[in-house]
Amino acid sequence: MASEKQKMLSGQLYCPYDSELDADRDRAAELQEKLNVIPDAESRREVVLQLLGHVGKNSNVRPTFRCDYGYNISLGDDVDINFDCVFLDVGKITIGDRSVFGPGVHIYAVNHPLDPEERKKQLEYGKDVKIGTDCWIGGRVTICPGVTIGNGVTVGAGAVVTKDIPDNVVAFGNPAKVVKSVVDN
C-alpha cells in the first residue's frame, strides 16, 4: 500500500496530516526561516540549494519566500524570484531558464476535491504547474493548479492564470486572457 507521501508525489488524493509529510513540511519551514532573514544573495543561495529540488546556475530567491515542501520546485538557470512569493508545491512546480517573477507571485500546485463530502475527509492532491523559459510573471500574479505557461510569455501584474497560456504572448486580467503576440509575423 502506498504511503501518503507516495500518493502525493504521484498526484493522487492523499492526507497531508501524516507524520512523514509533517516532518518534510517542518524541514522546509526551518530552511525558510533561515532563508528569510539572510541579507546577502550568496548566503541565501546556500539555503535555497538545500530547500528546493533543483536550482540552476545564477538563480536567486529573495525573502520572504514560502512553500510547502521545496523539493517539488525546480528552477532553471538565471531565474529571479522577487520578494514575498508563495509556491505551494504539493505538485511539481517547474520554471524554465531566464524567467523572472515580480513581488508577491503565488503559484498553487495543489487542489482539493470539489465535492464537499470529499473535502470533509481533508484530502488534497497535486496538480503540476509548468512555466517556460524567458517568461516574465508580473507582481501579484496568481497561477492556479495544473496550468502550463509557454516560453516567452509575459503575464501582467495582478493576473489570475486559470488556463494554459501558449508561447510568446502577453496575457493579463482575471481570469488571464491572451491580448497579443510578441512574435513578429
pTM over 0.75: yes
Tell me if 183 is assigned to some domain. Answer: no
CATH label of the domain that carries residue 165? 2.160.10.10
Tell me if 134 is assigned to some domain. Answer: yes
Tell me if 131 is assigned to some domain. Answer: yes
Looking at residue 135, what is its pLDDT? 98
pLDDT tens sequence across 84-116: 999 999 999 999 999 999 999 999 999 999 999
pLDDT tens sequence across 17-37: 999 999 999 999 999 999 999
Quote the CA–CA distance of 157 and 89 in Å, as a whole number.
22
User: For residue 47, is pLDDT > 70?
Assistant: yes
Question: Using 50, 70 and 90 to split pLDDT, how confident is the model at 184?
Answer: low
Tell me if 114 is assigned to some domain. Answer: yes
**Nine-digit cell string for 118:** 470529499
Looking at residue 1, what is its pLDDT? 87
Instruction: Give the dihedral of Cα atoms 170, 172, 177, 178; nearest 10 deg.
Output: -10
**54, 57, 112, 163: the active-site residue:** 112
The phi and psi torsions of 172 (rounded to 5 degrees) equal -160, 170
pLDDT tens sequence across 53-94: 999 999 999 999 999 999 999 999 999 999 999 999 999 999
Q: Which residues pair with 130 in a beta bridge?
A: 94, 148
Q: Is 120 left (phi over 0), alpha (psi -120 to 50) or beta?
A: alpha
Tell me if 125 is assigned to some domain. Answer: yes
Within 10 angstroms of residue 10's Cβ, the number of other Cβ atoms is 11
Looking at residue 88, what is its pLDDT? 98
Within 10 angstroms of residue 44's Cβ, the number of other Cβ atoms is 20
Structurally, the chain folds into a number of domains equal to 1
Range 112-123 average pLDDT: 93
Question: Using 50, 70 and 90 to split pLDDT, how confident is the model at 183?
Answer: confident
Residues 7/14, Cβ–Cβ less than 8 Å: yes
Q: DSSP characters for 11-79? A: T--B-S--HHHHHHHHHHHHHHHHHTT--SHHHHHHHHHHHSSEE-TT-EEPSSEEES-STTEEE-TT-
pLDDT tens sequence across 126-149: 999 999 999 999 999 999 999 999
Tell me if 104 is assigned to some domain. Answer: yes
Tell me if 78 is assigned to some domain. Answer: yes
Expressed as residue numbers, the domain containing 13 is 4-177
Q: Which residue has the higher pLDDT, 185 or 168?
A: 168
Q: Is 106 a catalytic residue?
A: no
Tell me if 182 is assigned to some domain. Answer: no
Sign of CA dihedral 63, 25, 106, 178: positive
